[in-house]
Copies of this chain bind each other. A is one copy, B any other.
């Protein structure tokens, strides 16, 4: 069975492990703090690859930032990554083929192949974490768009300017549906810059009505976004993943969404492929990509 050396490169952590063709993680996961310079990131990746390269057939990288349609390079990076990240020459890191995919797309693919959206015709995955990631799968293909950057959850929640988004624009879905947004909602409602998402979640658990109100507003914003996506994509299902997903009531969200869309009813589910779904998805995509565009 083929094996991939897989990486998940995020703004704060880098993970590596070996993944087989069935999406099993067959060797231990290594964890690193993401270095602060592109030279140090390149060195870390090269070092890891040199250790495991001989054992595997392909290198599969799940990364923050948009990845081109050839899956060879990062074409745009987010505020979370070091400046110049997209100038890294990933192809020079190994004699074997190096396959890249955006982390949300890769995780959505893992859900589609072995997780919660298995067998769906159209699925939309939302990762609710520090930001909001999106991975949309249509007819067995990730929606990549003309450049590779599709699936960005930066549609507007207000047509006028209210809340700045990390993308530089205003009032994007990400600015209302992320964990950071829940903190921001609480800051605004309580006029307290030190309140945390943890405070809100704990408050809800303890029956605090003010915290419940803040939480409900955040959930309402997520529902509003999902309704719009449901009408655009008419998907079989939405998959919620990321650190904040666990706090949502997916059955309640599903019911509210289906009460107010013009397309056919959809499902809302929690992700099932686990914390390493980005690595698993990138590896499964890399195997499928075969030697197309590959090195000899």
Contact between chains at B144 and A228 (CB < 8 Å): no
Contact between chains at B231 and A155 (CB < 8 Å): yes
Query: Does chain B have a CB within 8 A of A76?
Result: yes
Interface string of A222-240 (1 = CB under 8 A from B): 0011011101111110000
Contact between chains at A232 and B232 (CB < 8 Å): yes
Select the residue from A150, A157, A167 with max chain B CB neighbours within 10 A. Answer: A150
Given A76-B262, A159-B220 in contact, is the A152-B231 Cβ separation under 8 Å?
Answer: yes
Contact between chains at B150 and A232 (CB < 8 Å): yes
Point out the residues of chain B lying under 8 angstroms from A176, CB to CB: 159
Contact between chains at A121 and B139 (CB < 8 Å): no
Q: Measured between C-beta atoms, what is the minimum distance from A130 to chain B in Å?
A: 16
Point out the residues of chain B lying under 8 angstroms from A260, CB to CB: 168-169
Q: Measured between C-beta atoms, what is the minimum distance from A66 to chain B in Å?
A: 8
Contact between chains at A146 and B227 (CB < 8 Å): no
Contact between chains at A233 and B156 (CB < 8 Å): no
Contact between chains at B122 and A150 (CB < 8 Å): yes
Interface size on A, residues (CB 8 A): 53
When chains A and B are docked, how far (Å) is the Cα of A145 from the Cα of B231? 9
Query: Does chain B have a CB within 8 A of A32?
Result: no
Query: Does chain B have a CB within 8 A of A190?
Result: no
Given A146-B235, A221-B159 in contact, is the A169-B264 Cβ separation under 8 Å?
Answer: no
Query: Does chain B have a CB within 8 A of A138?
Result: yes
When chains A and B are docked, how far (Å) is the Cα of A141 from the Cα of B147? 18
Contact between chains at A234 and B138 (CB < 8 Å): no
Partner of A146, one of B149, B155, B168, B264: B264
Query: Does chain B have a CB within 8 A of A158?
Result: yes
Interface string of A196-209 (1 = CB under 8 A from B): 00000000000000
Query: Does chain B have a CB within 8 A of A114?
Result: no
